[in-house]
Amino acid sequence: MKINFEHALLKENIADYQDRVNEIHELLFKRECKGNDFLGWLDWPYDYDKEEFARIKEVGKEIRENADVLLVCGIGGSYLGARSAIEMMKGLYPDDKPEIIYTGNGLSSTYLYQVLNHIKGKSVYLNVISKSGTTTETAVAFRLFQQYIEETYGEEEASKRIIATTDKARGTLKNLADVKGYREFVIPDDMGGRYSVFSAVGLIPIAAAGLDIEELFKGCQKAYEDFRTPDLSKNIAYQYAVARRILENQCKGIELFVSYEPSMTMIAEWWKQLFGESEGKEGKGLYPASVTFTTDLHSMGQFIQEGTKSLFETVLTLENPMHDIIFPEDKENLDNMNYLAGKNIDWVNKMACQGTVEAHVETGNVPNILISMKDNSEFSYGYMIYFFFRACAMSVLMLDVNPFNQPGVEVYKKNMFRLLGKPAK
């Protein structure tokens, strides 16, 4: 992974923040920083449950062998990691089984109705994922699909097809899974949802999609090694963390995450949750937004180029695409496109990226941080995720904010429960 600040228009030196970064790095690893009870993700690249990891591989294999459809039922941190990984590494139209359908991440009756219709006659497995076990969106969808699976296969077979990922000791879902005899996997106590993709939360769907979770761990282990040092001349996660704060000081209130692959749109969604939920507290933080280019150049491009100068871009690109196509020649050339004949379409995409960075930075005066990944492999994904974990923790702690809680999310829930007439416990 490489990071390039040449187009970031930084008015301060990243290196000038070395003392502050050293201080926070030490607090983080001594587990004395804000939110220190939620640092399970920090040493996880090595310090994970090996026995559970083996069970995850087995269940992933079983799902691949037996399911036409895997329903992944969870919301927020309980699903965005898996979806971002699977879409990035497999693309949007993979041609193998199982089809993975994400449910329990909203309350649209139309969506649920259509998924129920879509899975009829197919072999279905369900992975329900909820740390609290009480999240309304997940619980509503889960009951519908649980009943469908029980009616279709009978209770005994259903208990093999439903897999629960939840708290190891308590909660509604834990109790339900115990009673029903589901296989259970653990969301560690000291790991918030948005930092949980390397636990069973992300790994079961990722393994079921046929991806190599050992390679994924090798990637995050490499990142762990690379980011052992707080030295700002070497640690690119901390460089990025500091650059975000410098740009905020330059009155940029919005960070726009940019990718050039539709299969990375969910990476942007995962990234927005990571930074939005970690940073947006106490009236502080950059607003994380996202676009997918080149399509959004035809919608948001105008604003980025000439609108309010309140944003900077963080552009994440792949050096090597998953697939490439050579643009064909056409004898008649009625569309006047022969000037591209023989060129790779990925090259065209890269030229669009280069031209856009130039337009936004040089003409539009919009700072661009450029991050590039070698490819969309499991190794690269694992590296990239751990990079963002560490960058996010450092960046948020620089604001003196706890990166690992999300007190604001409760406000809508309280109102919704009142309107729904949810009985008090």
Say which of 137, 277, 313, 378 is annotated catalytic. 277
Decide: 200 and 52 in contact? Cβ < 8 Å: yes
Site for ligand PA5, residues 213 to 272, rule: CB under 6 A? none
Query: Which x/- pattern over 141-170 shows residues binding ligand PA5 (rule: CB under 6 A)?
Result: ------------------------------
The answer to whether residue 192 forms part of the interface with ligand PA5 (CB under 6 A) is yes
Query: Choosing from 2, 413, 414, 422, which is the catalytic residue?
Result: 413
Of 40, 77, 98, 301, which lies in the binding site for ligand PA5, with binding defined by CB under 6 A? 77
Contact 242, 398 (CB under 8 A): yes
| Closest separation in Å from C-beta 149 to ligand PA5 | 20
- The answer to whether 194 contacts ligand PA5 (rule: CB under 6 A) is yes
Using CA atoms, how far apart are residues 302 and 298, in angstroms rounded to an integer? 8
Binding segment for ligand PA5 (CB under 6 A), chosen from 129-137, 256-264, 304-312, 331-339, is 129-137
User: Which listed residue (50, 120, 298, 331) is catalytic?
Assistant: 298
Count CB-CB contacts under 10 A for residue 217: 22
Verify whether residue 298 is a known catalytic residue: yes
Q: Residue 29 is encoded by which pair of tokens?
A: 């690893």
List Cα–Cα distances, 174 to 53, 132, 166, 370, in angstroms: 19, 9, 6, 43
The nearest distance, CB 39 to ligand PA5, in angstroms, is 14
For residues 45 and 76, which CB has a smaller minimum distance to ligand PA5 in the complex? 76
Interaction pattern, residues 277-316, with ligand PA5; x per rule: CB under 6 A:
x---------------------------------------
Pick from 36, 123, 132, 294: which binds ligand PA5 (CB under 6 A)? Answer: 132
Residue 72 and residue 100 in contact, taking contact as beta carbons nearer than 8 Å: yes
Smallest CA-to-CA distance from 405 within 8, 114, 27, 77 is with 77
Q: Is the separation of the CB atoms in 253 and 19 below 8 Å?
A: no
Residue (67 or 274) nearer to ligand PA5, CB: 274
User: Does position 193 bind ligand PA5 by CB under 6 A?
Assistant: yes
State the minimum distance, in angstroms, from the CB of residue 224 to ligand PA5: 21
Of 308, 276, 228, 232, the closest CA to residue 12 belongs to 232
Number of residues binding to ligand PA5, judged by CB under 6 A = 14
Is the CB of 75 or the CB of 216 nearer to ligand PA5? 75
The residue from 63, 70, 75, 209 that contacts ligand PA5 (CB under 6 A) is: 75
Report the residue from 78, 265, 314, 356 that binds ligand PA5 according to the rule CB under 6 A.
78
Strands 368-373 and 2-4: antiparallel
Stretch that binds ligand PA5, among 60-68, 126-134, 145-153, 413-421 (CB under 6 A): 126-134
Task: Work out which of 84, 105, 135, 263 binds ligand PA5, going by CB under 6 A.
Answer: 135
Is residue 405 part of the contact set for ligand PA5 (CB under 6 A)?
A: no
Query: Of 121 and 407, which CB lies nearer to ligand PA5 in the complex structure?
Result: 407
What is the bridge-based pairing of β-strands 162-166 and 368-373?
A: unpaired
Q: Which two tokens stand for residue 26?
A: 């030490």
Residue 130 lies near ligand PA5 (rule: CB under 6 A): yes
Answer whether 78's CB lies under 8 Å from 138's CB. Answer: yes
Q: Is 72 left (phi over 0), alpha (psi -120 to 50) or beta?
A: beta
Complex with ligand PA5: residue 71 or 75, whichever CB lies closer: 75
Q: What is the 3-state secondary structure (H, E, C) of 112-169?
A: HHHHHHHCCCCCEEEEEECCCCCCHHHHHHHHHHHHHHHHHHCHHHHHHHEEEEECCC
To the query of whether residue 425 is one of the catalytic residues in this protein, the response is: no
Annotation marks residue 26 as catalytic: no
Looking at beta carbons only, is 78 or 317 nearer to ligand PA5? Answer: 78
Nearer to ligand PA5 by Cβ, of 141 and 247: the residue is 141
CA torsion angle 201 203 207 208 (round to 10): 0
Cα gap 91→321, rounded to integer Å: 10
Q: How many CB atoms lie within 10 A of CB 241?
A: 25
End-to-end CA distance of the chain: 49
Measured CA to CA, the distance from residue 404 to residue 415 in angstroms comes to 23
CA distances to 67, 249, 289 from 246, in Å: 49, 5, 18
Q: Cα–Cα distance between 217 and 377 in angstroms, integer? A: 12
Indicate the residue whose CB is closest to ligand PA5. Answer: 193
Q: Which of 200, 159, 226 is nearest to 391 (CA)?
A: 226
271 vs 312 by CB, closer to ligand PA5: 271
In the numeric block, which tokens belong to residue 258? Answer: 């940019």
Considering only 69-77, 91-99, 321-329, 340-348, which stretch makes contact with ligand PA5 by CB under 6 A?
Answer: 69-77
> Could you give the residue numbers annotated as active site?
277, 298, 413
Interface with ligand PA5 by CB under 6 A: which residues?
A: 75-78, 130-132, 135, 138, 192-194, 277, 406
